[in-house]
Chains A and B, each alone.
Chain A
Amino acid sequence: MTTLTINGEPRDISAPNSSPLLWALREELGLTGTKFGCGIGQCGACTVLLDGAPVRSCQVPVGSAQGTTVTTIEGVAGAGELHPIQQAWIEEQVPQCGYCQSGQIISALALLDERAAPTDDDIDRAMSGNVCRCGAYQAIRRAIHRAVAIRSERIASDEPDQGEGDG
């Protein structure tokens, strides 16, 4: 039994330690937003945050996730409000078939945690592990820049009350 925190809640996973986290998320916990694309760490469709870092969950054995904190696409939105990245994804109409997009959003989340205002080169570096077979790359790039703007707008409008945004 592996115990970890997923999207803020403690969860137990009974899958064998060597099982990839991806399939435990999808099949055991019903978190199907995280997608299977290649199974060999090549496409990024299965990307989740593990203790804040983007990982390919098809390559993470369940056992090694003991005690960690995991964020999947289902945990990205705040209470009653989409995350700035999701908001930007919608405003820029990024998804086509949509299958890669959970992974893209998680990778973008990790990028924005690291760089407040990434350049195009930063985006290339952070996002080139995520394949989009529909070729939505240009929209993804636009949306990441827009997410930066949305986040700073939200921080600005939150300032009087809270002094800080949730990033």
Chain B
Amino acid sequence: MSESGALSRRSFVKVGVVAGAGLTLGVAWRLTRDPGLPTSDSTWVPNAYLRIDEDGSITVLVPRSEMGQGVSTALPQLVAEELDVPWDAVSFEFAQAHDAYGMMVTGGSTSVRESWEPLRRAGATAREMLRRAGANRWGVDVADVSTGNAAVIAPDGSTASYGALAAEAARLDVPDEVALKEPADYRLIGTSVPRLDVEAKSTGRAIFGIDAGPPDTRVAVVERSPVFGGVVRSLRADAALALPGVDEIVELESGVAVVANGYVAANAGRDALEIEWDEGDGANLDDATIADRLRSAVRNGRTVRDDGDVDAVLAGAEAPIRAEYRLPYLAHATMEPMNCTAWVRDGRCTVWTGTQFQNAPAIVGGGARQVAAAAAGVPADATEVHTTFLGGGFGRRSERDFVREAAELAGKIQGPVKVVWSREDDMRHDFYRPASYHELTAVLGEDGRPAAWDHRTASQSIMERLVPGWVPGPARNLVGKRDSTSTEGASDQPYESPNVRLTYAKVDLPIPVGFWRSVGHTHTGFVVESFIDELAHAAGEDPYEYRRALLSAHPRHVGVLDAVAEASAWGSTPPEGRGRGIAVVRSFGSYVAQVAEVSIRDGQPRVHQVWCAVDCGTVLNPAIVRAQMESGIVYGLTAALFGEINIEGGRVVQSNFHDYRMLRMNEAPRIDVVLAPSGDAPGGVGEPGTPPIAPAVANAVYALTGERIRTLPIRLGSPAGTAGSLS
């Protein structure tokens, strides 16, 4: 969501010594915040813990959510490096949401970026305290004491384990300054240490939200308005209540809950509900209306970027190049549908769920904990949130709707209850990647380079819902404040041109929109990287060379372009019937270039091979970086080939995987990832793999067929003709 701020030296507090419990260090790091967000008092808070118990076990309490991106490995890896312990001595626990943690959010590919310094410092500080404890015990100079294999080593070679020294170390003052290792001395950073979560996930033992909760938890399903914004007009529940296993019917803000002794009974009860909905104005909405609204708004956007004088160049141009791009709403479709367990008793609320957003101040609407407290009618400090493994997040689990609903229900009934969403619920009540419409105009100079680049975009705003007042009022439009999650990737598109303009038109529609893996870059990456490809072809230049020539001020873009060109042998002739396309996108602090090789089968593109070069600054764990690139590519490719949420009569048309297709094993390309780290501070890896794949594939389709793809998902205009031309 934003870059991290500067880090404080005073990163530590000793959390306290419980008698005999060993050494526990709290680590603070600076909150992520966008410049537009007001500051709060809770900027400096203990935010992760390292615990060394007397039995020698070393535990890192991870305050970030593990949704597949590897954070439960990467964060402990940072600590273990400086603590100087073998990898197999380390374990992790998820931190419980608590005020002491301040903001707890996993998003924007920030976890490693923000932990990089403080967690290494935590490990180094603990190691230093253990060394001092050893020196004290042996009566020697601390400078003569070294460490190895989770033990402190005396000058004479005798050793004391960290566990044995933990209690003594805990009584020492926390040192203000510790030296961190030079990169050349890393033993764990930069290596593919095994993930700490894979065994649990290969044996069925990993506990996800849908598996969590106390014994005798009842199950509820909720019937929600089929039209966004609809409310219950009338409800008859007798038939549902008469069914075996159905206990209670409870009206909630979000719909009608059926509480039962299990999921099957709850669903049967739901089918038997007789509900009349007051659908409201939303019922008039459909795809065509939405497309019209976006298109007619696009000319009235406010200016986000304005270099030079675009209008002057356009006015004098004979043949400007114009293109319109359209992208649809997308659902997240996490593998584990939304769910949340809550229990309200004795003025306390306990929540078990997979959330990306445990804790937050009121300015952003609160995290799961604050939202649950309000919905259950108990104070936040009487509310606990236990984070489980997340069966996928992709931004969906940063919303708090599923938590609010479960806590409200739990507040109205006795005992613990788990609200389980069906796949259909999940797909039809998502916070979708916003649909967007883009108009691009460019003028090429004599040298073929863009003399002017004009990009007008229109979409709903994600931030406006989350942070009312975030989007500046009309008066402030003049100063060009940007709605960053709508325009990122377009406002900072890197291609050299003296005259560049971006305008953004915010369109208000009742479709809920939210963060979807790589957010604004999902559409701006496609549009910018497709249009620059159009310009390259218009200039009669090779798409790789053309990009490269316009990126002379951006060496890291060039670095990954060169690496992917080499890996894919760009410029060599692809196999018969195949074409290649290229794209490069910087997002979340990392640079990713991809080449896709496609053929056309049954009138649709088939992606055989993807080469991917990534510069994420410093590579913490190569295997995790590779896996995240593969993951991001499959996620983005699924959207490029199939992803579309349609609206009809205010309702989402799609419902399950038969009409919202997922890429499957037999359709998955071979992916080669090249790590091309620049050595800069770590960038994100959870999201940056996603944006380049759609334009790389669309550009490959163009190279192969001459058909320019300007609307996603990719549907070739004349399948028979296109395929025929190849055979």
Contacts and interface: CB of A to CB of B under 8 A. Distances in A.
Please indicate whether A and B come from the same complex rather than being unrelated chains.
yes
Given A34-B204, A35-B391, A96-B631, A128 B664 contact: yes
10 contacts: A27-B263, A33-B203, A38-B656, A40-B658, A43-B657, A74-B203, A97-B334, A97-B389, A127-B666, A134-B335
Interface in A140-167: 140-141
A138 B671 contact: yes
Given A38-B423, A99-B334, 16 more contacts: A32-B210, A36-B210, A37-B335, A82-B203, A90-B194, A95-B202, A96-B68, A96-B69, A97-B391, A98-B197, A100-B335, A128-B664, A129-B664, A132-B335, A134-B631, A137-B668
Interface of A: 15-16, 19-20, 23, 26-28, 31-40, 42-43, 45, 72-74, 76-77, 82, 86, 89-90, 93-102, 105, 123-125, 127-141
B44 interface: no
B389 A42 contact: no
Nearest to B211: A32
B202 A105 contact: yes
B382 interface: no
B657 A137 contact: no
B13 interface: no
B466 interface: no
Contacts of B627: 93, 96, 136, 139
Contacts of A133: 333-335, 392, 635, 662
B174 interface: no
B216 to A, nearest CB: 11
A35 B210 contact: yes
B263 A136 contact: no
Contact of A101 (B69, B202, B670): B202
B663 interface: yes
Interface residues of B, number: 61
Interface of B: 66-70, 192, 194-195, 197-208, 210-211, 219, 244, 262-264, 333-337, 389-393, 420, 422-423, 623, 627, 630-635, 638, 656-658, 662-668, 670-671
B665 A140 contact: yes
B714 to A, nearest CB: 18
Contacts of B638: 135
Nearest to B261: A27
Contacts of B244: 16
Contacts of B656: 38-40, 42
Contact of B202 (A43, A72, A89): A89
Contacts of B666: 124-125, 127-128
Contact of B392 (A34, A99, A141): A99
B696 to A, nearest CB: 16
B201 to A, nearest CB: 3
Nearest to A62: B264
Contact of B663 (A32, A97, A135): A135
A134 B333 CA distance: 11
Nearest to B672: A138
B614 to A, nearest CB: 15
B633 A135 contact: yes
Given A97-B68, A135-B631, A102 B657 contact: no
Nearest to B392: A97
Contacts of B635: 133-135
Contacts of A72: 204
Contacts of B197: 95, 98
Contact of B264 (A23, A32, A132, A135): A23
Given A128-B665, A139-B627, A40 B336 contact: no
A108 to B, nearest CB: 11
Contacts of A45: 335
A100 B203 CA distance: 12
A36 B420 CA distance: 10
